[in-house]
Amino acid sequence: MLSIEHFYLLLAAFLAYAGWRNLRERRYAHAAFWGLIALLFASGQTVLSASKAGNPLPSQWAGAGVIALALLATRMRREHIAEAPESERLASAQRLGHRLFLPALVIPLLTVLVVLFGDHIVIGGVALFGKGSLTLMGLALACVVSAIAAIVVTRQRPLQAADEGRRLLDTMGWAALLPLVLATLGGVFAASGVGDAVAAIVSSVIPADSRLACVLAYGLGMVLFTMIMGNAFAAFPVMTAGIGLPLLIQQHGAAPAVLGSLGMLTGYCGTLMTPMAANFNLVPAALLELDDPNAVIRAQLPTAIPLLLVNLALMYWLAFR
Report in angstroms the alpha-carbon separations of 198 from 79, 145, 221, 238, 242. Answer: 43, 42, 10, 8, 5
Under DSSP, the state recorded for 55 is: -
Residue 170 in any domain: the answer is no
Q: What are phi and psi of 85, to 5 degrees?
A: -55, 150
Judgement on whether residues 72 and 115 belong to the same structural domain of the protein: no
Question: 161 lies in a domain?
Answer: no
Does residue 28 sit within a domain? yes
Per-residue pLDDT, 55: 46
Question: Does some domain include residue 166?
Answer: no
Residue 15 and residue 165 in contact, taking contact as beta carbons nearer than 8 Å:
no
Q: Residue 44's pLDDT band (boundaries 50, 70, 90)?
A: low
Q: How far apart are the first and last CA of the chain?
A: 40
91 and 217 co-located in one domain: no
Mean pLDDT of the chain: 83
Q: Are residues 289 and 188 in the same domain?
A: yes
Asked if residues 236 and 264 have their Cβ atoms less than 8 Å apart, the reply is yes
- Among 31, 51, 77, give the residue marking a domain's end: 77
Same-domain pairing of 200 and 313: yes
Q: Do 145 and 181 belong to one domain? A: no
206 and 269 together in one domain: yes
Together in a domain, 132 and 29 = no
User: How far is residue 291 from each of residues 17, 61, 271, 294, measured CA to CA in Å?
Assistant: 33, 42, 21, 9
Specify if 168 maps to a domain. no
Range of the domain at 44: 1-77
234-266 as b/e: b if 16+ CB within 10 A: bbbbbbbbbbbbbbbbeebebeeebbbbbbbbb
- What percent of the chain clears pLDDT 70, i.e. is strictly above it? 91
Same domain, 279 and 240: yes
Q: Using one digit for the tens of pLDDT, what is the confidence trace for 249-284?
A: 998 999 999 999 999 999 999 999 998 887 788 778
Query: Where among 54, 77, 100 does a domain terminate?
Result: 77
Q: Are residues 309 and 207 in the same domain?
A: yes
Number of structural domains found in the chain:
3
Q: Highest-confidence range of 45-54, 178-187, 278-287, 301-310, by mean pLDDT?
A: 301-310
Task: Examine the fold and report which residue of 77, 107, 141 is the final residue of a domain before the chain moves on.
Answer: 77
* Residue 121 placed within a domain: yes
On whether residue 236 sits in a domain, the answer given is yes
Q: How many CB atoms sit inside 10 A of residue 28's CB?
A: 12
Q: How many whole angstroms separate alpha carbon 23 and alpha carbon 19?
A: 6
What tens digit of pLDDT does each residue of 122-166 get?
777 777 777 777 888 888 899 999 999 999 888 888 888 888 888
Q: Does 292 share its domain with 184? A: yes
pLDDT of residue 46: 42
Residue 179's pLDDT is 73
User: Do 180 and 221 contact (CB within 8 A), yes or no?
Assistant: no
Output phi, psi for 282, to 5 deg. -95, -40
CB-CB contact of 272 with 300 (8 Å): yes
The three-point CA angle 200-205-208 to 5° equals 75
Domain assignment present for 26: yes
For residues 215 and 280, membership in a common domain is answered with yes
Cα–Cα distances in angstroms (integers) from residue 282 to residues 3, 223, 265, 289, 290, in the given order: 34, 18, 21, 10, 10
216 and 300 in a single domain? The answer is yes
